[in-house]
Chain A
Amino acid sequence: MNLLTIAIRSIKQRLLSSSLTMISMALGVGLVVSVLAIFGIVQKSFNANATLGYNLVIGAKGGKLQLVLNSVYYLSEPIENIPYEYYLEFQNQEVREKEYSGSYSYKAVQQQQAARMTMLATGLGLAAPAATITALATDLALEEQVAPLYPWTREGKYSAFTDFTIPLCLGDYVGPYRVVGTTPDMFSLLNYGAAGDKPYTMREGGRNLEHFHSENGFFEAVVGAVVADDRGIKVGDTINPSHGGAEGDEHETQFIVVGILENTGTPNDRAVFINMEGFYRMSDHAKPLENEDDIFGTNQVAHKITDAEYVLPVEKREVTSMLVRMDPLYSIGIENQVNEGNVAQAVFPITEIRRLLDYFVSPVQTLLLVLTVLICFMSGVSILVSIYNSMSDRRSEIAVLRALGARRKTVYNIVLLESMVLSMVGGLMGILGGHGLIAAFSGMIEEQTGVQISFFDLAPPLPIPVPLLGDISSEFLVIPGLILLAILVGFIPATSAYKTDVARSLGK
C-alpha cells in the first residue's frame, strides 16, 4: 500500500474536518483564480481599447490624464474647449473653405472685396482723381497678395500628415451618461477590437448619424448599447440632453435616435452621440460673440430642417477635443509642435492609458492578489491546525506504522502528503470553482467590457519581467504555490509525526 493511499485514508477518516479545510482552501484559491482572471479581463479590455483607431488626442492645455479620461472614456470632470480653427488646422483646404464660408471673417473679406470692386467701378465711371484709382488698385493688388494667407485658401497646417480627425464636443448628459457631439466619421472611420479591425455596427433597424437629414435635420443621435439597455431607448425615440450633469437643465432641443450601437465593450457603449451641428444649435452651446447679429445660435428651431445650407460661423464653434489618426512617423513631431504652442495639448492616449494602468489599476490588483493569497495562507493554517489536532489521536497509529517497519521519514512523508492532498484537492476545487464563476458571469463581463471569456480561458501571465514567469499563465503558478504552502503547513505536524516516541505510543 503506497503512502498516498495511506494519506488519503487518514483524510477520509476525518471526513468532516478534512472537508471543511478543503472547502476553505477551495474558497481561497477560487478567489485567487478569480482575481487573476480579473487581471486578464482588465488587461484585455485595456488592450482592446488600446487599439483605439487613432493615435493622438488633442484638447485644451491641462491634465493629460484628464484629457484622455474625457475623450477616450467619457469620464472625469469636464475640461476646457479649444477653438474650432485649431480643429480645422487638421483639415484640407476644401473642407476649410466650406467650414469657413459661414464665418464672419470670410463674409467680412467678401464684403470688403465687393465694396472695393464697386468703388473701383464707380470710381472709374466717375473719372475719379487718378490718386484714388491708383490707391484702390494698389489696395486690390495688396489684397491679391494676402489672399493666399486667408485661412480658407490654404491647407490646414497639419492636414498633410493627418489621416482623419474626429471632433468631440462634451458637456451634456443623458441621465448619468455623457453626450458626445461629433461627426458621422466617429462610426464610419473608426474601428474597434483588439486588432482594431471591427467596424461599428448598429442594432437591427438603426443607422449612423447623417450630417443633415431631410426630416431630422441636424438633430440625430446614436446611442451606446449600455445606455440604450439601461434607459430603454429605441430607434425613433427622442432624447433631450441636459446641460452639465445628470441634474442639469434639460435642453429643449430634441434629438431623434436613429441607431443603437451593437455592444462593443468600449466606452462608446456608455455614451450618447449626437450630430455636432445639432449640438451647436442647442441653446447656449454656440459660443456667444460680441455684437452678435446672428440669430441661429439661440433660435435654432427655425433652422431645424430647412437650413441645410446654413453654416454656423467658425467663430461660434468650439470643440472639447479631437481624435486624430496620423502616420506614427509624424505623430511625435506634431505632438511636440502642438504642445509647444499655447493653444492646445496633444497626448498619446495609449501612453496615458498604460500609465493609468500602472499607477492606479495595477496597485489595486496587486492589493487584491495579496489579500487573496493571504486568504489562501489562512486556509493553509487551517489545514495545519486540522492535521495537528489529529496528531494526538494518531500517535498510536503512527507508532503501529513504525512497528511495522515504517521509517521516521516515511511517517513524515505520509503527514506531508496529507497536507498536500488537502490543499491540492481544495485548490483544484477552487480553480474549477473560480473558472465556473467566471464562466457564469461571462455574459455580463462581455457586455460590460467586451472581453470574451470562457470556462477554459487561463489567466494571462503576471506582468513581471521574469523570463519564464512572464510567459506562462499565472494560474500555472497556483499549483506550485499550493505545493509550497502544503509543505510549509505540513511541516509542523509532519515533524511531530517524525518525532513520535514509538515505545511510549504503542498500544495506547
Chain B
Amino acid sequence: MLQISNLRKSFAQPGGKRLEILNIPEFKVDAGEQVVLLGRSGGGKTTLLHCISGITRADSGEIWFLGEELTKFSEPMWDRFRAANIGYVFQTFNLLPAFTALENVLLGMSFSNTAADPDYAQALLKRVGLGHRLGHKPDQMSVGEQQRVAVARALANRPRLLLADEPTANIDPANQQGIVDLIKESCAEFDIGLILVTHTMDVASQFDRIDRLDDINLVVAEAAMSVAESDQGGDSE
C-alpha cells in the first residue's frame, strides 16, 4: 500500500552545509498493517512522517501510496490527497481551541472532497469514549481527552493510513495505555494502516512489527551524533 524507495531528506544548516537526516532505501507498509517506528529523539521520525504526508517535500526518492506516486504530486494535490487518505495525530496541540470536540472532528472532514458528516463525527467521538463531551472546547478537557478527540478526528475521513507521532508522549502514564489501545483497536476495526512513532519500548512492544529507524535509515551515525548534542541541551522529547 505504502512503498518508499531511496527517500532522502536533508536540511540547510546555518553554515551553508546540508545536514542529512533521512536516507531510506526501502520502507513498506501493507494495507491495514500496524508498524511501530522506534527511534531516538532527533533521529528523523517526525521528518519521515512529514515526508509521507507531504507536509515536507523529500529531496529525492519515491513515495507510492494507493497506487499513486505522491512524490510527483503538486502541493495542492498532495494537500487534497492528505485530507482524504491520511489521518494524523500529533504529540501535542492537536485541537483548535476555538472549536468544540465535535467541531474539531468536523474540521477534519472539511478539506476533502466528501461532504462533512456530523452523524459520523458523533459516532467517532462516541467510539473514543467522548460521546458526552461533544460540545466541550479543548480547554475544558484533559490532555488525554483531547488526544482522544484527535484520534477521532484522524479517523474522520476514513483514511487508509494513520500517522501517529508520539501520541502518548505528553499524556499522564495512567492514560497512555488507553490511547495506545484506542489507536490500535480502531485501526484494526476500520482496516487502517498505522505508522506509530515512539521512542519508548513500553509502547513499541505492544505491536507485532517494530521497525527501528536506525535500521532502515542509512544516515544513522550522523543523526545519532546530532541527537547526542541536542540531548545535552535539555531536549525532553
Contacts and interface: CB of A to CB of B under 8 A. Distances in A.
Q: Do A and B come from one complex?
A: yes
B49 to A, nearest CB: 10
Nearest to A397: B96
B42 interface: no
Interface in A1-50: 1-2, 6, 9-10, 12-13
A407 interface: yes
B112 interface: yes
Interface stretch (B60-68, B102-110, B180-188, B227-235): B102-110
Nearest to A10: B98
A interface, over-half SS: helix
Nearest to B83: A405
B111 A404 contact: yes
B94 interface: yes
A406 B99 contact: no
B190 interface: no
Contact of B99 (A9, A396, A409, A508): A9
A502 B55 contact: yes
B158 interface: no
Contacts of B82: 403-405
A311 interface: no
A404 B107 contact: yes
B76 A407 contact: yes
A465 interface: no
Contacts of A502: 55-56
B5 interface: no
Given A1-B116, A404-B111, A409-B76, A396 B93 contact: yes
Looking at A397, A405, A407, the one whose CB has the most chain B CB atoms below 10 A away is: A405
A408 interface: yes
Contacts of A409: 76
B56 A503 contact: yes
A507 B80 contact: no
A contact residues, range:
20 to 34
B96 A402 contact: no
Contacts of A1: 103, 106-107, 109-110, 116
B94 A400 contact: yes
A405 B88 CA distance: 10
Contacts of A12: 98
Nearest to A11: B98
B91 interface: yes
Interface string A397-426: 100111111111110000000000000000
Interface in A364-419: 396-397, 400-410
A408 B94 CA distance: 19
Given A404-B110, A405-B84, A507 B98 contact: no
A410 B112 CA distance: 12
A506 B107 CA distance: 16
Contacts of B47: 503
Looking at B50, B94, B98, the one whose CB has the most chain A CB atoms below 10 A away is: B98
Contact of A405 (B80, B90, B91): B80
A13 B99 CA distance: 9
B90 A506 contact: yes
Given A1-B107, A401-B107, A404-B107, A508 B83 contact: no
Interface in B102-140: 103, 106-112, 116
A400 B94 CA distance: 7
B97 interface: yes
A447 B50 CA distance: 72
Contact of A403 (B53, B99, B157): B53
Contacts of A10: 98
B69 interface: no
B30 interface: no
A402 B93 contact: no
Given A407-B79, A408-B75, A503-B50, A402 B55 contact: yes
Looking at B55, B92, B103, the one whose CB has the most chain A CB atoms below 10 A away is: B55
B96 A507 contact: no
A396 B94 CA distance: 9
A400 B79 contact: no
Contacts of B94: 400, 507
Contacts of B53: 403
B76 A406 contact: no
B88 A403 contact: yes
Contacts of A507: 90-94, 165
Contacts of A405: 79-80, 82-84, 111-112, 157
A487 to B, nearest CB: 22
Given A1-B106, A502-B55, A406 B111 contact: yes
Contacts of A506: 55, 90, 93
B98 A9 contact: yes
Contacts of A503: 47, 50, 55-56
Interface of A: 1-2, 6, 9-10, 12-13, 396-397, 400-410, 502-503, 506-508
Which 6 A/B pairs are nearest by Cβ-Cβ distance? Answer: A405-B83, A405-B111, A13-B98, A9-B98, A507-B90, A407-B79
Given A13-B97, A408-B76, A410-B111, 14 more contacts: A9-B103, A10-B98, A397-B97, A400-B90, A400-B93, A401-B111, A402-B55, A404-B88, A404-B111, A405-B112, A406-B111, A502-B56, A503-B47, A507-B91
9 contacts: A2-B110, A9-B96, A400-B93, A400-B94, A404-B107, A405-B84, A408-B75, A409-B76, A503-B55
